C-alpha cells in the first residue's frame, strides 16, 4: 500500500456544530453516500452567522441559507470524487499521522482541553472514531491535491507583489482594528417589564431599527430605549478595538461601510442595532522576505487550484451524481 502525505498541508479543520437529527441522503457520487448530516455539519458555521444576522429567519435568511447549502453540497461532491479516484490508486494516510492531526486540532481549537473536545463531539453527535475518519479523509484529499498539482509555473516577482497588494487588507494586524459605532441594545428579557416576551422585544428592536434606518435620530433613540452600555451617550462606543468585542458581533459590524445601520443582530441575550461611524484598520505586514515567500506559496497554490478545478470538471462529466431535492 502506498502512503501519500505532506506535513506542509496538514491543516486544522474548522469547528463544526450540531448536525440535524434525521440522517437522509443528500446526494450520491458514484454510489457513495453524502448524508444530510454531512451537509449540515459543513454548513454549521455559516448557519450560526446567518441566524445572528437574520433573527426572523425570513426570505433573506432562507435565500442565503439555500445558497450556502448548495455550496456545501458541491464541495462534498468534489470531496467524494477525489476519494473515489484515490481508492483506485490505493493511497492512504498512516494512522499515527491522523492521531497527530487530531491532537493538533484539540490544541488549536480547545487549548488542549480534552473535556472541551468531548463536549464538541457530543454537540456534533459524532464519536471520536467518526471524527478521526473525517479528518483522515480531509488530510488525504489535501495531500493528493498538493502532490498531483505540484508542477506549476513558479511565481514571478510581479505575481507575488500583486498578490500582496490584493491581500494586504486581509493580512493586516486585525487585533489593531478599531471602530467607532452607536448601539441600541434591547434585551430578550426586560427586567423592567417582566410580561414582555422575547418576541415582544424582537418586535420592539425591529420597530426601532426601521425608525433609525428611515432617518430617525439614532443617538436620541439609544438614550430613550437602549439597555446597553453608554446609552446615556447616545449608545456611542468610541475607538473600540476588535478584540474588545465578541468575535461574531465584530465580524458582522466590521463588514459594514461607514454610515451603515445594521440589525437587529441577535445574540444569546438580546438584539442589537448598530450604526457604524468610523472604522480604522490595523496596519498591513511589511513586504519582507518572509511575506514574499508566503505570497509565492499563495500564488502557486492558486495556480494548482485552477488546475484542480479543471480536473474536477473532467471527473464530473464521467461520474454518476444524483442530488436529492
Q: Give the DSSP letter string of 270-281.
A: EEEEEEEEEEEP
Structure confidence at residue 275 (pLDDT): 96
Q: In what order do the strands lie in the sheet with 321-323?
A: 32-35, 25-29, 321-323
Return the residue matching grid coordinates 488549536.
Answer: 108
C-alpha cell at 17: 456544530
Structure confidence at residue 273 (pLDDT): 96
Mean pLDDT of all residues in 64-80: 90
Domain positions in the chain are 2-148, 174-280
Which band of pLDDT confidence, cut at 50, 70 and 90, is reported for residue 234?
Answer: very high
In terms of Cα–Cα distance, which of 299, 261, 296, 254 is closest to 279? 254
The CATH architecture one would assign to domain 2-148 is: Orthogonal Bundle (1.10)
Cβ partners under 8 Å of residue 27, min gap 6: 34, 73, 76, 77, 321, 322, 323, 324
* Residue 2 pLDDT greater than 60, yes or no: no
> Are residues 221 and 144 in contact, defined by beta-carbon separation less than 8 angstroms?
no
* Residue 68 pLDDT greater than 50, yes or no: yes
Structure confidence at residue 325 (pLDDT): 60
Q: What percentage of the chain's residues is helix, strand, coil (to nearest 5)?
A: 55, 15, 30
Structure confidence at residue 239 (pLDDT): 93
C-alpha cell at 136: 483522515
Which band of pLDDT confidence, cut at 50, 70 and 90, is reported for residue 237?
Answer: very high
* Residue 11 pLDDT greater than 60, yes or no: no
Q: What is the DSSP letter of 87?
A: H
Which band of pLDDT confidence, cut at 50, 70 and 90, is reported for residue 17?
Answer: very low
C-alpha cell at 42: 459543513
Structure confidence at residue 16 (pLDDT): 43
pLDDT, tens only, 110-153? 888 899 888 888 776 678 888 888 888 888 877 777 777 778 88
Cβ partners under 8 Å of residue 276, min gap 6: 179, 181, 253, 256, 257, 258, 259, 260, 261, 262
Which band of pLDDT confidence, cut at 50, 70 and 90, is reported for residue 9?
Answer: very low
Structure confidence at residue 235 (pLDDT): 94
Mean pLDDT of all residues in 69-76: 91
* Residue 67 pLDDT greater than 80, yes or no: yes
Nearest-10 crossing angle of helices 218-225, 198-213: 160
Query: From the centroid of its chain, how far is CA 148?
Result: 27
Q: What three-state secondary structure class fits 30?
A: coil
* Residue 53 pLDDT greater than 60, yes or no: yes
In terms of Cα–Cα distance, which of 155, 17, 47, 141 is closest to 87? 141
Return the residue matching grid coordinates 448557519.
Answer: 47
In terms of Cα–Cα distance, which of 73, 85, 72, 69 is closest to 28? 73
The fold adopted by the segment(s) 174-280 is Chitinase A; domain 3 (3.10.50)
Q: Which of 96-110, 215-229, 277-291 has the lowest mean pLDDT?
A: 96-110
In terms of Cα–Cα distance, which of 263, 262, 257, 239 is closest to 56? 263
The kind and range of the H/E element at 213 are: helix 198-213
Mean pLDDT of all residues in 41-46: 79
Amino acid at each position: 500500500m502506498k502512503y501519500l502525505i505532506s506535513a506542509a498541508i496538514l491543516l486544522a479543520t474548522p469547528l463544526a456544530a450540531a448536525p440535524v437529527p434525521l440522517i437522509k441522503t443528500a446526494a450520491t457520487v458514484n454510489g457513495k453516500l453524502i448524508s444530510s448530516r454531512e451537509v449540515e455539519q459543513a454548513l454549521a458555521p455559516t448557519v450560526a452567522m446567518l441566524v445572528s444576522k437574520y433573527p426572523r429567519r425570513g426570505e433573506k435568511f432562507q435565500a442565503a441559507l439555500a445558497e450556502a447549502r448548495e455550496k456545501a453540497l458541491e464541495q462534498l461532491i468534489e470531496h467524494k470524487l477525489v476519494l473515489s479516484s484515490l481508492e483506485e490508486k490505493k493511497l492512504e494516510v498512516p494512522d499515527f499521522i491522523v492521531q497527530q492531526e487530531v491532537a493538533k486540532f484539540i490544541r488549536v481549537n480547545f487549548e488542549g482541553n480534552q473535556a472541551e473536545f468531548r463536549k464538541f463531539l457530543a454537540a456534533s453527535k459524532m464519536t471520536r472514531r467518526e471524527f478521526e475518519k473525517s479528518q483522515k479523509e480531509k488530510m488525504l484529499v489535501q495531500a493528493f491535491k498538493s502532490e498531483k498539482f505540484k508542477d506549476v509555473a513558479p511565481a514571478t516577482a510581479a505575481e507575488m507583489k500583486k498578490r500582496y497588494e490584493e491581500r494586504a487588507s486581509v493580512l493586516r494586524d486585525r487585533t489593531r482594528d478599531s471602530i467607532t459605532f452607536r448601539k441600541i441594545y434591547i434585551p430578550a428579557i426586560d427586567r423592567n417589564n417582566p410580561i414582555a416576551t422575547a418576541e415582544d422585544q424582537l418586535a420592539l428592536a425591529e420597530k426601532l431599527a426601521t425608525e433609525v434606518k428611515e432617518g430617525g435620530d439614532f443617538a436620541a433613540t439609544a438614550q430613550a430605549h437602549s439597555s446597553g452600555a453608554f446609552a446615556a451617550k447616545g449608545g456611542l462606543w468610541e475607538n473600540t478595538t476588535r478584540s474588545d468585542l465578541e468575535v461574531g458581533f465584530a465580524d458582522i459590524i466590521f463588514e459594514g461601510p461607514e454610515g451603515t445601520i445594521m440589525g437587529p443582530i441577535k445574540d444569546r441575550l438580546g438584539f442589537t442595532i448598530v450604526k457604524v461611524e468610523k472604522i480604522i484598520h490595523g496596519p498591513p505586514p511589511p513586504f519582507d522576505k518572509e511575506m514574499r515567500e508566503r505570497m509565492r506559496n499563495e500564488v502557486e497554490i492558486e495556480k494548482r487550484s485552477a488546475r484542480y478545478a479543471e480536473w474536477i470538471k473532467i471527473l464530473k462529466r464521467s461520474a454518476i451524481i444524483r442530488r436529492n431535492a
